[in-house]
A and B are shown apart, each in its own frame.
Chain A
Amino acid sequence: MSEQRAISEDPGVLEARDLGRSVHGVDLLTGVDIVAPSGRMTGIVGPNGSGKSTLARCLAGVTPPDHGVVTLDDTDLRTLPRRSVARRLAFVEQQGHAEIDHRVLDVVRLGRLPYRSRLGALDEDADEVCRTALAEVGMAGTDQRRWSGLSGGERQRVQVARALAQTPDVLVLDEPLNHLDVHHQFELLDLLSTGASTVVIVLHDLDLAARYCDHLVVLDGGRVAADGVPADVLDADVLDRVFRVRGTTRRTPHGARVELHGAASRHPDAGRSRRRPLGPPDQPVGVE
């Protein structure tokens, strides 16, 4: 494993300072400061349109911020050569669409491109690394299957395998649980939380975020509404104010659990006249 990264105790800190981005005059992110601690799992949560994906793309160096910097171990991403960034940082997009029909192994091998030689040849271990990565996401033995024949969840897992094949120090994932059934949701989160990499993950499910993440950042309207340990961050006030749900968060030995009870009445000032949802308020209405 020539260029393989040694599993290190200290993979790297990904940090954003005063991040700002606007498109067509609409501010998507404003003054965002976040620190993803080395080797830990940092979750980004927030309602629809709060800027989660934009933040993930900025953190991955895919979208340049209009304002502020993203640093990897205190070095501005933009000052590093793209290829050396790609060796240390991998990004999994929300949905990967491909019109040309690749085989699964071809897709995963894209993850070895940052390690290609001057003549464009992949490293000798490429196929072994790729097969290991596929096995890690529960897709062992699918190398020769065609992309067009995969389900949404399988495609998502192949994309994660591609990112793992980059053997990154830092993984940025934008809602990787989309399309995954519950079994594979837990499996992927187990894999990511036990791995040695620094992980930044955009999540929708607040309970899963609270259970798996070491650190949570709550976005609201492109600003950081709260950040810290999940049990502290997801208090009843944040759930109501940011997510507009009623819920309770309790500490567990390994993190926190969030139980949601239902939609909150709109806003203390706005939604007074709305009828309260049916059913006793303390009965769980199911997790989002």
Chain B
Amino acid sequence: MTTTALRGAIVVPVLSAALVVVVLAGVALAGGTITWTDTVRSIGTHLGLPVTPLSPLADSVVWQLRLPRVLLAAAAGAGLAVCGCVLQAVTRNVLAEPYLLGISSGASTGAVLVLVLGLGAGSVTLAGGALAGGLLSFALVFALMGRDTASTSRVVLTGVVVGQLFSAVTSLVVTAWGDADATRGITYWLLGSLAAARWSSVAVCAVVVVVATVVFVAVAPALDAFVFGHDAAVALGIDVRLLRIIVLVGAAATTAAVVAAVGAIGFVGLVVPHAARMLVGPGHRLLLPVSALAGGVFLVVADLARRLAFAPHQIPVGVVTALIGVPTFLVVLRRGQRA
């Protein structure tokens, strides 16, 4: 108790501070003439603090373009990391995460169907399509996986199969019915892009992620009890059916909100919980908030690294997370095989 609580007391404030710093850095270091001071001044002005306002043009660059993008990255990173944590808990598999399980693909397909085919004729939003697709792929993954979720290869293979299915459907829809612009835009977006960030998408994404995280923290002891599986959790007095519903719906909704806003960004849900567990141990009461903060930091930094390292090329942020995620995947896989 004491050592874990102590670690939490250090890690949580440090990560919170780091998140603020990287958010400011994400705005200030993104090129152009915007400086750190400009960033702080613009944000200060909008928060009603007594600071000298920027010129309207510079202010709109900070407030309308860069800050939403960076905050969206933080919210998406947090959401994907938290989803990774809870999916790993209920499948008892450290490789489970929205992207590898094919849920991101399902959400993409749902979003693309709405976008390209105009399904629902405007009554269904992009996020609604993504949610439906996410839930569908979730149901499919768990139906195919059966109860044997502890088998690493089975979880990964099921995820790959479902992911491939939905990718194929998406490609079909885009190439058959999308025009050239839509094709380019969507392909780019499916690799994960923060370019479409607006305050409205930030708000939706942030609210869903925060609500989901709070709900997941509330069931943290039940998630802990799952470490030895379904039967052990039942024997410890956990309502397993209720927990599964909470986790599956919560994770699908969060993934959908994230995918609708930034596309399918992979591996955040794998890399971040893994690192967070090394920091604060496997107890979910601490692991979930720490993963959320670390996920936010991770995706903001990944987006910034993408800009700084590959400018002027617009590399999708999902490429960066995959470059970091694949080696992590291999490390986790090797560890699992040794144990």
Given the known inter-chain contacts A99-B92, A99-B150, please indicate yes or no for A90 contacting B235, CB distance below 8 A: yes
Let me know if A100 and B94 touch, CB within 8 A: yes
Let me know if B94 and A114 touch, CB within 8 A: no
What residues on B are CB-neighbors of A111 within 8 Å? 236
24 example contacts (A-B, Cβ-Cβ < 8 A) are as follows: A57-B231, A81-B237, A83-B237, A86-B236, A90-B235, A91-B232, A96-B228, A96-B229, A96-B232, A97-B228, A98-B92, A99-B93, A100-B88, A100-B227, A100-B277, A102-B281, A106-B281, A106-B283, A110-B236, A113-B221, A114-B237, A116-B221, A120-B285, A126-B1
Docked Cα-Cα span, A166 to B237, in Å, equals 11
B231 nearest CB across to chain A (Å): 5
Residues 214-237 of chain B: 1 if any A CB is under 8 Å from the residue's CB, otherwise 0? 000010110011011101101111
A93 touches B (CB below 8 Å) = yes
B245 touches A (CB below 8 Å) = no
Given the known inter-chain contacts A98-B228, A113-B224, please indicate yes or no for A103 contacting B235, CB distance below 8 A: no
Partner of B232, one of A93, A103, A127: A93
B303 nearest CB across to chain A (Å): 29
Given the known inter-chain contacts A97-B229, A127-B1, please indicate yes or no for A113 contacting B238, CB distance below 8 A: yes
A60 touches B (CB below 8 Å) = yes
Count, chain B residues at interface, CB 8 A: 30
What residues on A are CB-neighbors of B238 within 8 Å? 82, 113
A112 nearest CB across to chain B (Å): 9
A281 nearest CB across to chain B (Å): 43
Which residues from 320 to 339 on chain B have a C-beta closer than 8 Å to any C-beta of chain A? 336, 339
**Known A91-B235, A102-B281; further 13 A-B contacts with Cβ < 8 A:** A62-B235, A98-B228, A99-B94, A99-B152, A102-B227, A110-B225, A110-B228, A111-B236, A113-B238, A114-B236, A120-B221, A122-B1, A127-B1
What residues on A are CB-neighbors of B128 within 8 Å? none
A residues adjacent to B (C-beta < 8 A): 57, 60-63, 81-87, 89-91, 93, 96-103, 106-107, 110-111, 113-114, 116, 120, 122, 126-127, 148, 159, 166
B53 touches A (CB below 8 Å) = no
Let me know if A82 and B239 touch, CB within 8 A: yes
Partner of B235, one of A60, A106, A126: A60
Let me know if B227 and A98 touch, CB within 8 A: yes
What residues on A are CB-neighbors of B229 within 8 Å? 96-97
